[in-house]
Structure 1
Amino acid sequence: MSSITWQTVQAEALRRIRTREWPPGSRIPDEAVLAAELGCARATVNRALRELAEAGLLERRRKAGTRVPLNPVRKATFEVPIIRQDIEGRGLVPGYRLLTRAVEPAPAALLASLPAGSLPPGAQLLRLRALHLAGDAPFCLEERWVNPLTAPGILVADLDGISANEWLVQNTSFTGGDIAFGATNADAETAAALDCPPGASLFVIDRMTRAGEALITSVRLSYAPGYQMQAVI
């Protein structure tokens, strides 16, 4: 069995890209050729090249092979941590308050944003509104819809003691989702929760996660003025 790992193959591919042995715009050797040259399994090469493509350092197109991009897109990576851990990572003491909890029909706006088949007809969702604190100051307002069919146990979970954000990370697995970053002006209700003036500029994250095609949760996180998200290039 070959001792060549995908990390070794990745490092060699990076070396060839950086030294221009594989110049920008060039097509690199096929996976089978590289596997024979490096003495490893084709699956090992596939994993290495896939990781580089996800980082924007290669372009992989079906039937067109793999190329070094002329203008590589440098991707920033970031973590969407448990909010409590985000607060702790800033050297602050986290706090949490569940503000409202109810089971309600899925709202029309949410249904309109979902692909067909994401929710069964007449679906009842758990609606949550919670405030996360950093010290004594509001940090983030969490407004969330959860599908009990894909998050079994959520309806009886102690969400006064643990946030839905943290409970879902611990108890569900997702296969895909969408995330969007934006800015909004605080309406009166949000401003009251975050202790800021109405109309204040807020950083917001809208996130949706799915299990297959089925919705798990849709959440809007509205952060108090001054919040910054960090990413690594």
Structure 2
Amino acid sequence: MNANTHSSIREDIRRRIVAGEWALGEQMPGEIDLASEYDCSRTTMNRALRALADEGMIERKRKGGTRVRPLPVHQAQLQIPLVREQVENRRQTYSHRVVKRTMRQPPVAIRARLELGDSDRASFLETLHLADGAPFAFESRWVNLAAVPDFQEARLDELSANEWLVREIPFTNGEVGLSATRANAALAEALGEDEGAALFTLERTTWLDGTAVTTVTFYYTSGFRLEFPI
């Protein structure tokens, strides 16, 4: 492949990471090998990899080589950890199950949040996140397909929608709301809670250069405690 500019190389390596060519945490080929593959100078390859490292998609160590980050890190003053991190930080095994996935017209409040027209449709997804096989959080998400057209065809068996979107669309800004929600019948059944139980609730909307990407609500099981660095 002859892609001899650092930007085109960066974008192609990003595409290969998103496609799963290298697993999360897996070591990638060395800088010299990649430069040979892309028929470019080592300086050009170094520049492309440095840009991906600055974005948080990969991590580079002088004697440890280059690896795909288990989870990309945005350059932000405050970071809300993703569900998989929350589970693994408790020394539990994370898994997830897609409960519903469809494309439909969002309700009025969601259309306003995503800045969609009355006739626009969006991708709707419900996901159950598990810790050691037990319910941990329930996710209800809308995705603006005008901002992320590839999402509709994305495979979400290994990566949750949460992680897929972080890898594919690095947001430039977002809003987060925290509250308590009483579990309705559907949430109680999904999370194994009593109906009416108080659930810690996190709502988040992210934008990329002024375009709304996704709005999501996470409902956590009773006793959840949110911890994050600032």
TM-score interval (norm. to shorter)? 0.5 to 0.7
Q: Please give the TM-score of this superposition, normalised by the length of structure 2.
A: 0.63
Superposed CA RMSD in Å reads 1.7
Larger Rg: 1
Q: What is the CA deviation profile of residues 66-117 of structure 1, one whole-angstrom value per residue up to 9, with x for unaligned ones?
A: xxxxxxxxxxx75312311221111001111000000001211212445xxx
Matched residues, percent identical? Answer: 36
Q: Is the 8 A contact 2:99 2:126 kept in 1?
A: yes
What SS class does the counterpart of residue 153 from structure 1 fall into?
A: helix
Q: Which residue pairs with 2:177 in the alignment?
A: 180
Q: Structure 1 pair 131/119, CA: closer, same or farther in 2 (3 Å)? A: same
**Matched residue type, 1:222:** Y
Q: Which residue pairs with 1:52 in the alignment?
A: none
Aligned equivalents of 1:121, 1:109: Cα separation in 2: 11
Aligned equivalents of 1:178, 1:211: Cα separation in 2: 12
Aligned equivalents of 2:225, 2:181: Cα separation in 1: 15
Q: Structure 1 pair 110/177, CA: closer, same or farther in 2 (3 Å)? A: same
**Matched residue type, 2:105:** P
What pairs with 1:131-210 in structure 2 (closer than 5 Å)? Answer: 131-210=128-207
| Larger mean Cα displacement after TM superposition, 172-181 or 184-193 | 172-181
What SS class does the counterpart of residue 152 from structure 2 fall into?
A: helix
**Matched residue type, 2:169:** T
What pairs with 1:1-40 in structure 2 (closer than 5 Å)? Answer: none
What pairs with 1:111-150 in structure 2 (closer than 5 Å)? Answer: 111-113=111-113, 118-150=115-147
Q: Is the 8 A contact 2:125 2:141 kept in 1?
A: yes
Shift of residue 161, structure 1, vs aligned partner: 3.0
Aligned equivalents of 2:156, 2:229: Cα separation in 1: 32
Q: Please give the TM-score of this superposition, normalised by the length of structure 1.
A: 0.62
Query: Aligned pairs, how many?
Result: 154
Shift of residue 212, structure 1, vs aligned partner: 2.7
Q: Could you list the runs of 5+ residues in structure 2 that have no partner in the other structure? A: 1-76
What SS class does the counterpart of residue 181 from structure 2 fall into?
A: strand
Q: Structure 1 pair 90/78, CA: closer, same or farther in 2 (3 Å)? A: farther
Q: Which residue pairs with 2:98 in the alignment?
A: 98
Q: What is the CA deviation profile of residues 101-152 of structure 1, one whole-angstrom value per residue up to 9, with x for unaligned ones?
A: 00001211212445xxx33452210000000000021001010000111113
Q: Is the 8 A contact 1:119 1:214 kept in 2?
A: no
Q: Is the 8 A contact 1:132 1:141 kept in 2?
A: yes
Q: 1:227 aligns with which of 215, 224, 229?
A: 224
Q: Which residue pairs with 2:86 in the alignment?
A: 86
Shift of residue 231, structure 1, vs aligned partner: 4.2
What pairs with 1:64-83 in structure 2 (closer than 5 Å)? Answer: 79-83=79-83
| Larger mean Cα displacement after TM superposition, 77-86 or 163-172 | 77-86
Q: Is the 8 A contact 2:122 2:142 kept in 1?
A: yes
Q: Is the 8 A contact 2:130 2:136 kept in 1?
A: yes
